[in-house]
Amino acid sequence: MSTPATTSLCTWFVAACMSVGCQNDSTMLSCRSSTNRRRRLFSKCRAQLATSLVPRSSRIQGLISSFEPCHEYYSSQSVCSKDFLFGDNKAFGSIFRDVSRRKRIHSAPRSGEAVAVAVQPLMEDAIKKKPSTKHRRVVVTGMGVETSIGHDPDVFYNNLLEGVSGISEIEGFDCSNYPTKIAGEIKSFSTDGWVAPKLSKRMDKFMLYMLTAGKKALADSGVTEEIMDQMDKSKCGVLIGSAMGGMKVFNDAIEALRISYRKMNPFCVPFATTNMGSAMLAMDLGWMGPNYSISTACATSNFCILNAANHIIRGEADMMLSGGSDAVIIPIGLGGFVACRALSQRNNDPTKASRPWDNNRDGFVMGEGAGVLVLEELEHAKARGAKIYAEFLGGSFTSDAYHMTEPHPDGAGVILCIEKALAHSGVSREDVNYINAHATSTPAGDLKEYQALLHCFGQNKELRVNSTKSMIGHLLGAAGAVEAVAAVQAIRTGWIHPNINLDTPDERVDMNVLVGPKKERLKVKVALSNSFGFGGHNSSILFAPFQ
Protein backbone atom coordinates (compact mmCIF):
# COMPACT_ATOMS: atom_id res chain seq x y z
CA MET A 1 0.00 0.00 0.00
CA SER A 2 1.33 3.47 -0.88
CA THR A 3 1.74 5.96 1.91
CA PRO A 4 0.46 9.56 1.59
CA ALA A 5 4.04 10.75 1.13
CA THR A 6 4.67 8.21 -1.64
CA THR A 7 1.43 9.10 -3.40
CA SER A 8 2.13 12.82 -3.25
CA LEU A 9 5.67 12.42 -4.57
CA CYS A 10 4.52 10.07 -7.27
CA THR A 11 1.75 12.44 -8.37
CA TRP A 12 4.23 15.29 -8.58
CA PHE A 13 6.70 13.18 -10.55
CA VAL A 14 4.09 12.04 -13.05
CA ALA A 15 2.82 15.58 -13.48
CA ALA A 16 6.35 16.74 -14.20
CA CYS A 17 6.88 13.94 -16.72
CA MET A 18 3.59 14.68 -18.46
CA SER A 19 4.37 18.35 -18.59
CA VAL A 20 7.65 17.69 -20.37
CA GLY A 21 6.03 15.13 -22.62
CA CYS A 22 3.22 17.48 -23.65
CA GLN A 23 5.68 20.16 -24.56
CA ASN A 24 8.08 18.02 -26.56
CA ASP A 25 6.05 15.28 -28.24
CA SER A 26 4.99 16.69 -31.59
CA THR A 27 2.83 13.67 -32.36
CA MET A 28 0.48 14.33 -29.46
CA LEU A 29 -2.52 16.39 -30.42
CA SER A 30 -3.55 16.93 -26.77
CA CYS A 31 -2.50 15.89 -23.28
CA ARG A 32 -6.06 14.64 -22.75
CA SER A 33 -5.49 11.87 -25.29
CA SER A 34 -2.57 10.34 -23.35
CA THR A 35 -4.51 8.43 -20.67
CA ASN A 36 -2.71 5.15 -21.35
CA ARG A 37 0.69 6.81 -21.17
CA ARG A 38 -0.20 8.43 -17.87
CA ARG A 39 -1.12 5.08 -16.43
CA ARG A 40 2.12 3.49 -17.60
CA LEU A 41 4.25 6.31 -16.17
CA PHE A 42 2.31 6.28 -12.93
CA SER A 43 2.80 2.52 -12.48
CA LYS A 44 6.49 2.78 -13.35
CA CYS A 45 6.98 5.66 -10.92
CA ARG A 46 5.32 3.78 -8.06
CA ALA A 47 7.40 0.69 -8.73
CA GLN A 48 10.65 2.65 -8.73
CA LEU A 49 9.75 4.45 -5.51
CA ALA A 50 8.81 1.22 -3.79
CA THR A 51 12.19 -0.21 -4.77
CA SER A 52 14.12 2.86 -3.55
CA LEU A 53 12.43 3.07 -0.14
CA VAL A 54 14.75 0.74 1.73
CA PRO A 55 14.63 0.25 5.48
CA ARG A 56 16.29 2.99 7.52
CA SER A 57 18.78 0.71 9.27
CA SER A 58 19.88 -0.86 5.96
CA ARG A 59 20.31 2.58 4.46
CA ILE A 60 22.57 3.89 7.23
CA GLN A 61 24.61 0.70 7.52
CA GLY A 62 24.97 0.57 3.77
CA LEU A 63 26.35 4.10 3.78
CA ILE A 64 28.97 3.24 6.37
CA SER A 65 29.93 -0.14 4.90
CA SER A 66 30.32 1.37 1.45
CA PHE A 67 33.39 3.14 2.80
CA GLU A 68 35.05 -0.10 3.93
CA PRO A 69 38.80 0.58 3.63
CA CYS A 70 41.37 -1.32 1.62
CA HIS A 71 43.20 -4.07 3.46
CA GLU A 72 46.45 -2.09 3.25
CA TYR A 73 44.92 0.79 5.26
CA TYR A 74 44.09 -1.17 8.41
CA SER A 75 43.25 -4.67 9.43
CA SER A 76 40.25 -4.07 11.73
CA GLN A 77 36.96 -5.71 10.74
CA SER A 78 33.26 -5.33 11.55
CA VAL A 79 33.06 -1.68 10.56
CA CYS A 80 29.30 -1.73 10.92
CA SER A 81 29.18 -3.21 14.40
CA LYS A 82 26.39 -2.09 16.67
CA ASP A 83 28.56 0.33 18.64
CA PHE A 84 30.54 1.58 15.62
CA LEU A 85 29.17 5.07 15.37
CA PHE A 86 28.88 6.30 18.92
CA GLY A 87 29.85 5.44 22.48
CA ASP A 88 28.03 3.76 25.29
CA ASN A 89 26.77 6.85 27.11
CA LYS A 90 23.49 5.65 28.55
CA ALA A 91 21.67 8.94 28.07
CA PHE A 92 21.72 8.58 24.30
CA GLY A 93 21.38 5.23 22.53
CA SER A 94 22.91 4.52 19.18
CA ILE A 95 20.72 4.46 16.13
CA PHE A 96 21.79 0.86 15.71
CA ARG A 97 20.22 -0.20 19.04
CA ASP A 98 17.26 -2.56 18.77
CA VAL A 99 14.37 -0.13 18.38
CA SER A 100 11.94 -2.61 19.88
CA ARG A 101 13.29 -1.76 23.33
CA ARG A 102 12.17 1.84 23.06
CA LYS A 103 8.73 3.03 24.03
CA ARG A 104 7.91 5.68 21.53
CA ILE A 105 4.79 7.74 20.99
CA HIS A 106 5.55 7.47 17.27
CA SER A 107 7.03 3.99 16.85
CA ALA A 108 10.17 3.57 14.77
CA PRO A 109 10.14 1.68 11.46
CA ARG A 110 10.30 -2.09 11.88
CA SER A 111 12.80 -4.18 10.02
CA GLY A 112 11.79 -4.45 6.40
CA GLU A 113 9.42 -1.46 6.42
CA ALA A 114 10.00 1.51 4.16
CA VAL A 115 11.35 4.79 5.51
CA ALA A 116 8.23 6.55 4.21
CA VAL A 117 6.30 4.95 7.06
CA ALA A 118 7.87 7.60 9.31
CA VAL A 119 5.32 10.03 7.86
CA GLN A 120 2.48 8.77 10.01
CA PRO A 121 -1.17 9.80 9.81
CA LEU A 122 -0.89 11.67 13.11
CA MET A 123 1.74 13.90 11.51
CA GLU A 124 -0.12 14.64 8.30
CA ASP A 125 -1.86 17.76 9.57
CA ALA A 126 1.42 19.18 10.80
CA ILE A 127 2.97 18.59 7.39
CA LYS A 128 0.06 20.01 5.40
CA LYS A 129 -0.64 23.04 7.57
CA LYS A 130 1.79 25.84 8.33
CA PRO A 131 2.36 25.88 12.11
CA SER A 132 1.35 28.95 14.06
CA THR A 133 4.37 31.11 14.88
CA LYS A 134 2.61 33.50 17.24
CA HIS A 135 4.47 33.97 20.50
CA ARG A 136 6.98 31.18 19.85
CA ARG A 137 9.77 32.29 22.16
CA VAL A 138 13.20 30.65 22.09
CA VAL A 139 15.11 29.84 25.28
CA VAL A 140 18.49 28.32 26.12
CA THR A 141 18.10 25.13 28.15
CA GLY A 142 21.52 23.49 27.79
CA MET A 143 25.17 24.25 27.04
CA GLY A 144 28.28 22.25 26.15
CA VAL A 145 31.88 23.34 25.52
CA GLU A 146 35.29 21.96 24.66
CA THR A 147 37.99 24.59 25.28
CA SER A 148 41.57 24.95 26.46
CA ILE A 149 40.36 26.12 29.90
CA GLY A 150 37.48 23.75 30.50
CA HIS A 151 35.25 21.00 29.11
CA ASP A 152 32.22 21.97 31.19
CA PRO A 153 30.32 25.30 31.00
CA ASP A 154 30.77 26.05 34.71
CA VAL A 155 34.47 25.15 34.84
CA PHE A 156 35.00 27.12 31.64
CA TYR A 157 33.27 30.22 32.94
CA ASN A 158 34.84 30.10 36.41
CA ASN A 159 38.26 30.08 34.74
CA LEU A 160 37.21 33.05 32.63
CA LEU A 161 36.13 34.94 35.75
CA GLU A 162 39.50 34.21 37.37
CA GLY A 163 41.41 35.40 34.30
CA VAL A 164 42.98 32.01 33.54
CA SER A 165 44.71 31.88 30.16
CA GLY A 166 44.60 28.78 27.99
CA ILE A 167 47.34 30.00 25.65
CA SER A 168 50.51 27.89 25.71
CA GLU A 169 53.23 26.42 23.51
CA ILE A 170 51.98 24.08 20.81
CA GLU A 171 52.63 20.43 21.65
CA GLY A 172 50.67 18.65 18.92
CA PHE A 173 53.50 18.90 16.36
CA ASP A 174 56.97 20.36 15.93
CA CYS A 175 56.56 24.03 15.12
CA SER A 176 60.13 25.11 15.85
CA ASN A 177 60.51 26.41 12.29
CA TYR A 178 57.38 28.56 12.46
CA PRO A 179 57.48 32.21 13.57
CA THR A 180 54.43 31.48 15.76
CA LYS A 181 54.73 28.64 18.25
CA ILE A 182 51.77 29.26 20.57
CA ALA A 183 48.02 28.62 20.52
CA GLY A 184 44.96 27.95 22.66
CA GLU A 185 45.53 24.22 22.25
CA ILE A 186 43.38 21.70 24.12
CA LYS A 187 45.88 19.54 26.01
CA SER A 188 43.56 16.95 27.52
CA PHE A 189 40.50 15.71 25.67
CA SER A 190 38.56 12.49 26.01
CA THR A 191 35.67 11.04 24.06
CA ASP A 192 35.12 8.23 26.57
CA GLY A 193 31.43 7.50 26.95
CA TRP A 194 30.51 9.88 24.14
CA VAL A 195 32.05 8.50 20.93
CA ALA A 196 33.04 4.91 20.10
CA PRO A 197 36.83 4.33 20.21
CA LYS A 198 36.97 2.99 16.66
CA LEU A 199 35.32 6.14 15.33
CA SER A 200 37.45 8.41 17.53
CA LYS A 201 40.55 7.18 15.73
CA ARG A 202 39.17 8.01 12.29
CA MET A 203 37.31 11.28 12.82
CA ASP A 204 38.82 14.73 12.54
CA LYS A 205 39.04 16.55 15.86
CA PHE A 206 36.55 19.18 14.81
CA MET A 207 33.90 16.45 14.59
CA LEU A 208 34.91 14.91 17.91
CA TYR A 209 34.73 18.29 19.64
CA MET A 210 31.32 18.88 18.05
CA LEU A 211 29.89 15.49 19.02
CA THR A 212 31.06 15.62 22.62
CA ALA A 213 29.99 19.24 23.14
CA GLY A 214 26.62 18.51 21.53
CA LYS A 215 25.92 15.49 23.69
CA LYS A 216 27.11 17.31 26.81
CA ALA A 217 24.75 20.18 26.01
CA LEU A 218 21.85 17.77 25.65
CA ALA A 219 22.73 16.10 28.95
CA ASP A 220 22.99 19.52 30.58
CA SER A 221 19.48 20.30 29.35
CA GLY A 222 18.14 17.32 31.28
CA VAL A 223 17.11 15.31 28.22
CA THR A 224 17.36 11.69 29.31
CA GLU A 225 16.70 8.67 27.12
CA GLU A 226 13.20 8.41 28.59
CA ILE A 227 12.45 12.03 27.69
CA MET A 228 13.93 11.49 24.23
CA ASP A 229 11.51 8.64 23.66
CA GLN A 230 8.59 11.01 24.29
CA MET A 231 9.85 13.75 21.96
CA ASP A 232 8.71 14.30 18.40
CA LYS A 233 12.02 13.74 16.64
CA SER A 234 10.72 15.23 13.42
CA LYS A 235 10.82 18.58 15.23
CA CYS A 236 14.31 18.22 16.68
CA GLY A 237 17.28 19.38 14.63
CA VAL A 238 21.04 19.93 14.56
CA LEU A 239 22.72 23.01 13.11
CA ILE A 240 26.36 23.09 14.13
CA GLY A 241 28.88 24.58 11.73
CA SER A 242 32.61 24.78 11.12
CA ALA A 243 34.76 27.34 9.37
CA MET A 244 37.52 24.96 8.30
CA GLY A 245 36.03 21.46 8.48
CA GLY A 246 38.20 18.33 8.61
CA MET A 247 41.41 19.92 7.46
CA LYS A 248 43.66 17.32 9.12
CA VAL A 249 41.75 14.33 7.73
CA PHE A 250 41.96 15.80 4.24
CA ASN A 251 45.64 16.75 4.61
CA ASP A 252 46.48 13.23 5.81
CA ALA A 253 44.68 11.82 2.78
CA ILE A 254 46.81 13.93 0.45
CA GLU A 255 49.97 12.67 2.14
CA ALA A 256 48.74 9.08 1.85
CA LEU A 257 47.94 9.61 -1.82
CA ARG A 258 51.61 10.38 -2.45
CA ILE A 259 52.22 6.69 -1.73
CA SER A 260 49.04 5.11 -3.08
CA TYR A 261 45.32 5.67 -3.05
CA ARG A 262 45.13 2.34 -1.22
CA LYS A 263 46.65 4.04 1.80
CA MET A 264 43.96 6.72 1.97
CA ASN A 265 41.45 6.85 4.80
CA PRO A 266 38.19 5.72 3.16
CA PHE A 267 36.38 8.28 5.32
CA CYS A 268 38.56 11.20 4.21
CA VAL A 269 35.92 12.80 1.97
CA PRO A 270 32.85 12.62 4.24
CA PHE A 271 34.85 13.38 7.40
CA ALA A 272 36.39 16.47 5.79
CA THR A 273 33.05 18.11 4.98
CA THR A 274 31.71 20.71 7.41
CA ASN A 275 28.21 19.19 7.53
CA MET A 276 29.15 15.68 8.62
CA GLY A 277 29.40 16.44 12.33
CA SER A 278 25.81 17.66 12.44
CA ALA A 279 24.74 14.72 10.31
CA MET A 280 26.40 12.11 12.52
CA LEU A 281 24.96 13.65 15.67
CA ALA A 282 21.46 13.66 14.15
CA MET A 283 21.87 10.00 13.12
CA ASP A 284 22.87 9.01 16.62
CA LEU A 285 19.95 10.84 18.21
CA GLY A 286 17.46 9.87 15.53
CA TRP A 287 16.55 13.54 15.03
CA MET A 288 14.75 14.08 11.73
CA GLY A 289 14.23 17.86 11.83
CA PRO A 290 16.43 20.55 10.22
CA ASN A 291 19.97 19.18 9.86
CA TYR A 292 22.79 21.01 8.10
CA SER A 293 25.76 23.26 8.75
CA ILE A 294 26.76 26.78 7.82
CA SER A 295 30.29 27.98 7.11
CA THR A 296 30.89 31.73 7.21
CA ALA A 297 34.47 31.79 8.47
CA CYS A 298 34.71 33.15 12.02
CA ALA A 299 31.04 34.22 12.05
CA THR A 300 29.89 30.61 11.57
CA SER A 301 28.51 29.94 15.06
CA ASN A 302 26.33 33.04 15.20
CA PHE A 303 24.89 32.23 11.79
CA CYS A 304 24.06 28.73 13.00
CA ILE A 305 22.51 29.91 16.27
CA LEU A 306 20.29 32.51 14.63
CA ASN A 307 19.16 30.16 11.87
CA ALA A 308 18.43 27.44 14.42
CA ALA A 309 16.31 29.88 16.42
CA ASN A 310 14.44 30.88 13.28
CA HIS A 311 13.52 27.23 12.63
CA ILE A 312 11.92 27.18 16.08
CA ILE A 313 10.18 30.52 15.63
CA ARG A 314 8.71 29.37 12.30
CA GLY A 315 7.39 26.20 13.93
CA GLU A 316 9.69 23.88 12.00
CA ALA A 317 11.39 22.65 15.17
CA ASP A 318 10.87 22.58 18.92
CA MET A 319 14.48 21.91 19.88
CA MET A 320 17.75 22.59 18.10
CA LEU A 321 21.39 21.85 18.90
CA SER A 322 23.34 24.79 17.50
CA GLY A 323 26.84 26.22 17.56
CA GLY A 324 30.23 25.63 15.98
CA SER A 325 33.45 23.62 16.10
CA ASP A 326 36.96 23.96 14.69
CA ALA A 327 40.34 22.27 15.15
CA VAL A 328 43.09 23.57 12.85
CA ILE A 329 46.11 23.77 15.16
CA ILE A 330 48.02 21.61 12.71
CA PRO A 331 50.94 22.44 10.39
CA ILE A 332 48.82 23.49 7.40
CA GLY A 333 46.48 25.56 9.59
CA LEU A 334 49.24 27.35 11.46
CA GLY A 335 51.23 27.83 8.28
CA GLY A 336 48.27 29.29 6.45
CA PHE A 337 47.57 31.95 9.05
CA VAL A 338 51.28 32.71 9.39
CA ALA A 339 51.33 33.31 5.64
CA CYS A 340 48.46 35.78 6.14
CA ARG A 341 50.59 37.59 8.73
CA ALA A 342 47.64 37.45 11.08
CA LEU A 343 49.13 35.72 14.14
CA SER A 344 50.86 37.01 17.24
CA GLN A 345 54.53 36.08 17.57
CA ARG A 346 54.81 36.68 21.33
CA ASN A 347 56.25 33.20 21.82
CA ASN A 348 58.30 34.02 24.90
CA ASP A 349 55.21 34.82 26.98
CA PRO A 350 52.21 32.85 25.61
CA THR A 351 49.66 33.86 28.25
CA LYS A 352 50.28 37.53 27.39
CA ALA A 353 49.97 37.10 23.62
CA SER A 354 46.23 37.63 23.17
CA ARG A 355 45.56 41.20 24.26
CA PRO A 356 42.50 42.85 22.64
CA TRP A 357 42.54 46.67 22.65
CA ASP A 358 46.03 46.78 24.15
CA ASN A 359 48.50 49.10 22.50
CA ASN A 360 51.01 46.26 22.07
CA ARG A 361 48.73 43.75 20.36
CA ASP A 362 50.40 42.11 17.38
CA GLY A 363 47.83 39.68 15.96
CA PHE A 364 45.43 37.00 17.09
CA VAL A 365 46.23 33.66 18.74
CA MET A 366 44.72 30.50 17.24
CA GLY A 367 42.43 28.45 19.45
CA GLU A 368 40.42 25.27 19.03
CA GLY A 369 37.29 23.66 20.47
CA ALA A 370 33.53 23.71 20.24
CA GLY A 371 30.47 25.32 21.76
CA VAL A 372 26.88 24.08 21.52
CA LEU A 373 23.62 25.55 22.81
CA VAL A 374 20.33 23.74 23.24
CA LEU A 375 17.72 26.14 21.88
CA GLU A 376 14.15 25.25 22.69
CA GLU A 377 10.66 26.60 22.20
CA LEU A 378 9.49 28.02 25.52
CA GLU A 379 6.30 26.01 25.98
CA HIS A 380 8.11 22.83 24.97
CA ALA A 381 10.76 23.53 27.61
CA LYS A 382 8.14 24.24 30.26
CA ALA A 383 6.22 21.07 29.45
CA ARG A 384 9.21 18.88 30.23
CA GLY A 385 10.25 20.92 33.28
CA ALA A 386 13.52 22.14 31.78
CA LYS A 387 15.69 24.70 33.52
CA ILE A 388 15.93 27.89 31.49
CA TYR A 389 19.26 29.70 31.43
CA ALA A 390 18.31 32.67 29.26
CA GLU A 391 16.08 33.77 26.41
CA PHE A 392 17.33 34.18 22.88
CA LEU A 393 15.96 37.47 21.54
CA GLY A 394 17.18 37.54 17.95
CA GLY A 395 20.00 38.81 15.76
CA SER A 396 21.11 39.76 12.28
CA PHE A 397 23.68 39.28 9.52
CA THR A 398 25.23 41.77 7.10
CA SER A 399 28.12 41.92 4.65
CA ASP A 400 30.87 44.54 4.52
CA ALA A 401 31.15 44.02 0.74
CA TYR A 402 34.58 45.58 1.02
CA HIS A 403 37.59 43.28 1.48
CA MET A 404 38.41 39.61 2.11
CA THR A 405 40.14 40.15 5.44
CA GLU A 406 40.08 43.84 6.34
CA PRO A 407 37.11 45.49 8.11
CA HIS A 408 35.24 48.30 6.39
CA PRO A 409 37.05 51.61 7.15
CA ASP A 410 33.98 53.30 8.66
CA GLY A 411 32.48 50.15 10.18
CA ALA A 412 29.31 50.51 8.10
CA GLY A 413 28.64 46.78 7.89
CA VAL A 414 29.06 46.21 11.63
CA ILE A 415 26.87 49.19 12.53
CA LEU A 416 24.16 48.03 10.14
CA CYS A 417 24.33 44.51 11.59
CA ILE A 418 23.92 45.72 15.18
CA GLU A 419 21.06 48.06 14.29
CA LYS A 420 19.24 45.33 12.39
CA ALA A 421 19.76 42.91 15.28
CA LEU A 422 18.24 45.40 17.72
CA ALA A 423 15.28 45.98 15.42
CA HIS A 424 14.74 42.24 14.87
CA SER A 425 14.85 41.60 18.62
CA GLY A 426 12.68 44.57 19.59
CA VAL A 427 15.41 45.83 21.92
CA SER A 428 16.30 49.48 22.54
CA ARG A 429 19.94 50.57 22.63
CA GLU A 430 19.61 51.58 26.26
CA ASP A 431 18.72 48.03 27.29
CA VAL A 432 22.00 46.53 26.06
CA ASN A 433 24.45 46.82 28.95
CA TYR A 434 26.85 43.94 28.18
CA ILE A 435 28.68 43.11 24.95
CA ASN A 436 30.93 40.13 24.33
CA ALA A 437 32.94 41.58 21.49
CA HIS A 438 34.54 39.82 18.55
CA ALA A 439 37.84 41.60 19.39
CA THR A 440 40.59 39.22 18.26
CA SER A 441 43.69 41.24 19.25
CA THR A 442 44.41 42.60 15.77
CA PRO A 443 45.44 46.25 15.30
CA ALA A 444 42.67 47.19 12.86
CA GLY A 445 39.81 44.88 13.81
CA ASP A 446 39.66 45.69 17.53
CA LEU A 447 39.47 49.42 16.97
CA LYS A 448 36.91 49.32 14.16
CA GLU A 449 34.55 47.18 16.23
CA TYR A 450 35.03 49.42 19.27
CA GLN A 451 34.16 52.51 17.23
CA ALA A 452 31.06 50.81 15.85
CA LEU A 453 29.97 49.90 19.38
CA LEU A 454 30.37 53.49 20.53
CA HIS A 455 28.39 54.67 17.53
CA CYS A 456 25.50 52.41 18.51
CA PHE A 457 25.72 52.48 22.31
CA GLY A 458 27.86 55.51 23.14
CA GLN A 459 25.09 57.11 25.22
CA ASN A 460 24.67 54.08 27.45
CA LYS A 461 26.65 54.76 30.62
CA GLU A 462 26.08 51.23 31.95
CA LEU A 463 27.68 49.55 28.95
CA ARG A 464 30.47 47.02 29.67
CA VAL A 465 32.50 45.32 26.94
CA ASN A 466 34.92 42.38 27.11
CA SER A 467 36.59 39.79 24.88
CA THR A 468 36.70 36.09 25.74
CA LYS A 469 39.52 35.69 23.21
CA SER A 470 41.97 37.34 25.59
CA MET A 471 42.04 34.00 27.46
CA ILE A 472 41.29 31.24 24.95
CA GLY A 473 42.41 32.76 21.67
CA HIS A 474 40.36 32.75 18.48
CA LEU A 475 38.40 29.51 17.95
CA LEU A 476 37.49 30.54 14.37
CA GLY A 477 34.12 28.97 13.49
CA ALA A 478 33.58 27.90 17.11
CA ALA A 479 34.30 31.34 18.59
CA GLY A 480 30.74 32.68 18.46
CA ALA A 481 29.23 29.63 20.17
CA VAL A 482 31.77 29.55 23.00
CA GLU A 483 31.29 33.30 23.47
CA ALA A 484 27.51 32.85 23.45
CA VAL A 485 27.98 30.39 26.33
CA ALA A 486 30.02 33.07 28.12
CA ALA A 487 27.24 35.62 27.53
CA VAL A 488 24.58 33.26 28.89
CA GLN A 489 26.77 32.48 31.88
CA ALA A 490 27.12 36.21 32.56
CA ILE A 491 23.32 36.45 32.64
CA ARG A 492 23.07 33.43 34.96
CA THR A 493 25.79 34.38 37.43
CA GLY A 494 25.63 38.18 37.47
CA TRP A 495 29.39 38.31 36.86
CA ILE A 496 31.25 39.37 33.70
CA HIS A 497 34.78 38.19 33.05
CA PRO A 498 37.81 40.49 32.77
CA ASN A 499 39.87 41.57 29.78
CA ILE A 500 43.28 40.19 30.62
CA ASN A 501 46.52 41.65 29.22
CA LEU A 502 44.95 45.08 28.78
CA ASP A 503 48.04 46.62 30.38
CA THR A 504 48.50 49.65 28.14
CA PRO A 505 45.12 50.38 26.56
CA ASP A 506 45.03 51.83 23.06
CA GLU A 507 44.73 55.59 23.49
CA ARG A 508 41.63 55.55 21.30
CA VAL A 509 39.57 53.39 23.68
CA ASP A 510 37.77 54.37 26.88
CA MET A 511 38.37 52.18 29.91
CA ASN A 512 35.03 53.31 31.30
CA VAL A 513 33.51 51.08 28.61
CA LEU A 514 35.93 48.15 28.64
CA VAL A 515 36.03 45.70 31.54
CA GLY A 516 39.30 45.89 33.48
CA PRO A 517 41.69 43.15 34.67
CA LYS A 518 39.25 41.82 37.29
CA LYS A 519 35.77 40.33 37.03
CA GLU A 520 32.89 42.72 37.64
CA ARG A 521 29.39 42.45 39.05
CA LEU A 522 26.70 43.27 36.52
CA LYS A 523 23.00 42.61 36.36
CA VAL A 524 22.76 41.96 32.64
CA LYS A 525 19.62 43.34 31.03
CA VAL A 526 20.48 42.38 27.45
CA ALA A 527 23.72 40.79 26.25
CA LEU A 528 24.97 41.17 22.68
CA SER A 529 27.59 38.90 21.13
CA ASN A 530 29.41 39.84 17.92
CA SER A 531 31.22 37.60 15.45
CA PHE A 532 32.83 38.70 12.20
CA GLY A 533 34.51 36.57 9.55
CA PHE A 534 36.83 36.70 6.56
CA GLY A 535 34.79 37.73 3.55
CA GLY A 536 33.12 40.59 5.40
CA HIS A 537 30.55 38.42 7.23
CA ASN A 538 29.04 40.25 10.21
CA SER A 539 26.73 38.74 12.81
CA SER A 540 25.18 39.90 16.08
CA ILE A 541 22.95 37.89 18.43
CA LEU A 542 21.19 38.90 21.65
CA PHE A 543 20.28 37.12 24.90
CA ALA A 544 18.42 38.28 27.99
CA PRO A 545 17.33 36.90 31.35
CA PHE A 546 14.18 34.81 31.01
CA GLN A 547 11.13 36.57 32.47
Please give the model's pTM, rounded to 2 decimal places: 0.78
- How sure is the predictor about 28, in pLDDT bands with cuts at 50, 70 and 90? very low
376: which strand partners? 139, 319
**298 classed as catalytic:** yes
**474 classed as catalytic:** yes
Answer whether residue 224 shows pLDDT above 90.
yes
Q: Looking at 10, 268, 298, 456, which residue is catalytic?
A: 298
C-alpha to C-alpha distances, 15 to 25, 34, 41, 203, 227, nearest whole angstrom: 15, 12, 10, 44, 42
Q: How many residues does the chain have?
A: 547
Region of residue 163 (phi > 0: left; psi between -120 and 50: alpha; otherwise: beta): left
Q: What is the pLDDT of residue 135?
A: 78
**71 classed as catalytic:** no
Answer whether residue 119 shows pLDDT above 60.
no
d(CA 413, CA 394): 18
Among the ranges given (106-120, 396-410, 530-544), the one the predictor scored with the smallest mean pLDDT: 106-120
| DSSP letter string, 203-229 | S-HHHHHHHHHHHHHHHHTT--HHHHH
Q: Looking at 151, 474, 497, 537, which residue is catalytic?
A: 474
- How sure is the predictor about 408, in pLDDT bands with cuts at 50, 70 and 90? confident
Answer whether residue 70 shows pLDDT above 80.
no
Answer whether residue 507 shows pLDDT above 90.
yes
Q: What is the pLDDT of residue 129?
A: 53
Q: Are 233 and 290 in contact (CB under 8 A)?
A: no
Q: What is the pLDDT of residue 405?
A: 87
The SS3 of residue 296 is strand
Q: Looking at 438, 456, 497, 537, which residue is catalytic?
A: 438
- How sure is the predictor about 476, in pLDDT bands with cuts at 50, 70 and 90? very high
- Taking alpha carbons only, the member of 277, 370, 366, 269 closest to residue 326 is 370
Q: Are 485 and 390 in contact (CB under 8 A)?
A: no
Looking at 109-162, list the stretches that DSSP marks H as alpha helix, in order from N- to C-terminal side.
121-128, 153-161
**Exposure b/e, 307-343, CB count within 10 A at least 16 = b:** bbbbbbbebbbbbbbbbbbbbbbbbebbeebbeeebb
